[in-house]
Amino acid sequence: MMRAGIMMLAALLAGCGASLPPPETVRFDHKVAGQTLPLPARVMLYVGQEDLDRPLKMQVTTLHSEDSPDVKEGRALAQAATGVLRAAFARVALNESSVRPQIVIRPSGKAVWYKLDGELRLGCGLDAYTADGFPLGTFVGRFRTSTNDYRPDLLPAYGQCLKRATERLLESPALARLAAAGFRDPPPASVEAWMRTLGPFPTPP
């Protein structure tokens, strides 16, 4: 009886007993330049087709890894970033230049599911720019969670990883300066020229 209780406690401490919240439910308590969230800015996330199609890597044994046959890690990253950042900014769109963004963010991430350990480990980042290409900074996060099935946990795990990265973005002096200036629209010609450097935009599904 005592041994069973110890095992249950260990599982809970390892994160096995609690489900992760969806990315779109993430909330922040920050104020930026005295403004409450969501900030009145238009944000475009750019994720290229090759990144969207990247499969999740699985470490099956100590010496052997393989790609997941049915889970696209890049799509989970893009979906999680969209959900999390909508708690921070008034308008967030994925690969849609028609929103006339004032800020462009390139999410990045790497997730690996370790089958022997039953653990999902993630690193993630947000490369943020003004829409005409001025760097605001790179903001990173890490997260790990115990799971024997990566499929339902990849998306919310990325949400938790990106929550930390977004907190660092919200705490940055560069974003505070933009907010204090009122998130002005950069010159359209400069925006168009810099957008071309991002690469081809994926075809909508």
**What is the chain's pLDDT, residue by residue, as a tens digit (205 residues)?**
434 443 333 433 334 445 899 999 999 999 999 999 999 999 999 999 999 999 999 999 989 999 999 999 999 999 999 999 999 999 999 999 999 999 999 999 999 999 999 999 999 999 999 999 999 999 999 999 999 999 999 999 999 999 999 999 999 999 999 999 999 999 999 999 999 999 999 987 6
Rounded Cα distance between 160 and 76, Å, is 12
Note whether 133 and 106 are within 8 A (CB): no
Alpha helices for 127-187 (secondary structure H): 150-170, 173-180
Q: What is the pTM (predicted TM-score) of this model? A: 0.89
Note whether 85 and 39 are within 8 A (CB): no
Rounded Cα distance between 34 and 178, Å, is 12
Rounded Cα distance between 203 and 205, Å, is 6
Note whether 183 and 85 are within 8 A (CB): no
Which 3 state secondary structure label does DSSP give 29?
A: coil
